[in-house]
Amino acid sequence: MTVLAYTIDHAAGPIQARGHKPAPLGPLGPLDVALTHTGICQTDLGMIDDHYGQSRFPFVPGPRKKP
């Protein structure tokens, strides 16, 4: 399954919409969720600009699973 993700390719770079193939969800199997709104926080803005020196690009800001 391909989803639309807004990505940044380098620090302080422009945000681009592109298709993204997420990792499998795990033992529960596929799940359909109707997402109507999302947001980013101050930490995401710092990661977009690589203020913390820890960003890995391409970067997709917003909610994500912790490693």
Q: Which residues of 28-52 are buried (b: 16+ CB within 10 A; e: fewer)?
A: eeeeeeeeeeeeeeeebeebbebee
Q: What is the pLDDT of residues 3-62, one digit of tens each?
A: 888 899 999 999 999 988 877 777 876 777 787 777 888 999 999 999 999 999 999 887
Instruction: Check whether the bond before 58 is cis (ω within 30° of 0).
Output: yes
Q: What is the pLDDT of residue 51?
A: 94
Q: Distance between alpha carbon 57 and the CA centroid of its chain, in Å?
A: 10
pTM of the predicted protein model: 0.65
